Structure 1
Amino acid sequence: MESGIDWHYAKAVLEWQVELGATEAILDAPVNRFDLPRVQPKTPARAAPPAEEPVRVRAEVDAVEVARAAAQGAHDLAALAAAMAAYDHCELKRGARNLVFSDGHPAARVMILGEAPGRDEDRVGRPFVGRAGQLLDRMLGAIGLDRGEKERDRAVYITNVLPWRPPQNRDPEAGEIAMMLPFVQRHVELVDPEVVILMGNISCQAGLGRRGILKLRGKWAEAYGRPALPMTHPAYLLRQPQAKREAWSDLLSLKARLG
Structure 2
Amino acid sequence: MESAQDYWTAHALLEWQVEMGADEAILDAPMNRYELVDEKPAAKVSPLGKAAPPPIPVKEKVDPVEIAKAAAKSAETLESLAGAMRAFEHCELKKGARNFVFGDGAANANVMIIGEAPNRDDDQHGKPFAGPVGELFDKMVGAIGLSRSHPDPASSVYVTTVLPWRPPANRVPEAAELAMMLPFLTRHIELVDPAIIVLMGNSPCQALLGKAGISRLRGQWTTFLGKPVLPLAHPEQLMKNPTAKRDAWADLLDLKARLSNP
Tell me if both proteins adopt one fold, taking TM over 0.5 as the criterion.
Answer: yes
8 A Cα contact 1:103 1:158, kept in partner: yes
1:56 is displaced (CA, Å) by 1.6
Gaps of at least 5 residues in structure 2 are: 1-46
Which residue identity lines up with residue 130 of structure 2 in the other structure? V
Taking the TM superposition and a 5 Å limit, the aligned residue runs for 1:101-112 are 101-112=102-113
Structure 1 distance, partners of 2:223, 2:93, is 28
**1:130-186 deviations in whole A, cap 9, x for unaligned?**
211111100101100000001110000000110000110000111110010000000
Aligned-partner SS, 1:117: coil
1:203 is displaced (CA, Å) by 0.7
Q: 2:38 — aligned with what?
A: none
Structure 2 distance, partners of 1:104, 1:204, is 21
Instruction: Say whether 1:151 aligns with 2:165.
Output: no
1:69 is displaced (CA, Å) by 0.6
Structure 1 distance, partners of 2:48, 2:134, is 72
Instruction: Say whether 1:82 aligns with 2:112.
Output: no
Q: 1:38 — aligned with what?
A: none
Q: 1:182 — aligned with what?
A: 183
54-63 or 135-144: bigger deviation: 54-63
8 A Cα contact 1:110 1:156, kept in partner: yes
Q: 1:216 to 1:47 in 2, by over 3 A?
A: closer
Which residue identity lines up with residue 61 of structure 2 in the other structure? E
Structure 1 distance, partners of 2:142, 2:132, is 15
55-64 or 121-130: bigger deviation: 55-64
Which residue identity lines up with residue 95 of structure 2 in the other structure? R
53-62 or 163-172: bigger deviation: 53-62
Structure 1 distance, partners of 2:207, 2:232, is 14
Q: 1:251 — aligned with what?
A: 252
Q: 2:131 — aligned with what?
A: 130
Which residue identity lines up with residue 67 of structure 1 in the other structure? A
Aligned-partner SS, 1:148: coil
TM-score, length basis structure 2? 0.79
Aligned-partner SS, 1:227: strand
Structure 2 distance, partners of 1:157, 1:124, is 17
TM-score, length basis structure 1? 0.80
1:253 is displaced (CA, Å) by 0.8
Which residue identity lines up with residue 204 of structure 2 in the other structure? S
Aligned-partner SS, 2:70: helix
Taking the TM superposition and a 5 Å limit, the aligned residue runs for 1:1-259 are 50=51, 53-54=54-55, 56-259=57-260
Structure 1 distance, partners of 2:92, 2:226, is 29
Which residue identity lines up with residue 70 of structure 1 in the other structure? A
8 A Cα contact 1:115 1:203, kept in partner: yes
Which residue identity lines up with residue 183 of structure 1 in the other structure? F
Structure 2 distance, partners of 1:147, 1:97, is 24
Q: 1:39 — aligned with what?
A: none
1:53 is displaced (CA, Å) by 3.7
Structure 2 distance, partners of 1:115, 1:237, is 13
Structure 2 distance, partners of 1:50, 1:61, is 33
**1:188-222 deviations in whole A, cap 9, x for unaligned?**
00000011001000011011101011010000011
CA-atom RMSD in angstroms:
1.5
Structure 1 distance, partners of 2:97, 2:56, is 36
**1:49-91 deviations in whole A, cap 9, x for unaligned?**
9578455221011111111111011000000000011111100
Q: 1:48 to 1:235 in 2, by over 3 A?
A: same
Structure 1 distance, partners of 2:144, 2:171, is 31
1:257 is displaced (CA, Å) by 0.8
* Percentage identity across paired residues of the two chains: 57
Q: 2:32 — aligned with what?
A: none
1:225 is displaced (CA, Å) by 3.1
Which residue identity lines up with residue 79 of structure 2 in the other structure? A
Gaps of at least 5 residues in structure 1 are: 1-45
Structure 2 distance, partners of 1:51, 1:146, is 68
